[in-house]
Amino acid sequence: MQLLTGDLEELRKCSNLSVLDLSYNRLEDPLVVDVLADMAMLKVLVLTGNPLVRQVPAYRKTMTLRLSQLLNLDHRPVFPRDRACAEAWLRGGIEEEIAERKRL
């Protein structure tokens, strides 16, 4: 059975939830990111094994930007450097990201 975005809407109400493992739940709808982005305290997220990982453009950068408190994504840390490079990428594309990596 595939989980749909509507099935996850209740997560928006979990204001203190900081760790969430949704691995291998057949999540496909990129709108799931909107639900997760509303979870202000979310620090650890696992979406491994879900089709949406391949459907969200620039997945890791996008998740790092949209989930501002995230410290770990799919069992890999999100370092301040990762966040700075993702923000540079958002501002000016790959060239800006490369420049930011050289600065750090």
Asked, for residue 83, whether it belongs to a domain, the answer is no
Low-confidence winner among 9-13, 37-41, 61-65, 88-92 (lowest mean pLDDT): 9-13
Q: What is the pTM of this model?
A: 0.87
Structural domain range at position 41: 5-78
Distance, in Å, from the CA atom of 59 to the CA atom of 102, rounded to the nearest integer, reads: 22
Q: Decide if 91 is inside a domain.
A: no
3 touches 26 (CB < 8 A): yes
Inside any domain, residue 104: no
Instruction: Please report how many Cα atoms fall inside a 13 Å half-sphere around the Cα of residue 57, on the Cβ side.
Output: 3
Q: How many CB atoms lie within 10 A of CB 19?
A: 12
Residue range 12-59, pLDDT digits in tens:
888 899 999 999 999 999 889 999 999 999 999 999 999 999 999 999
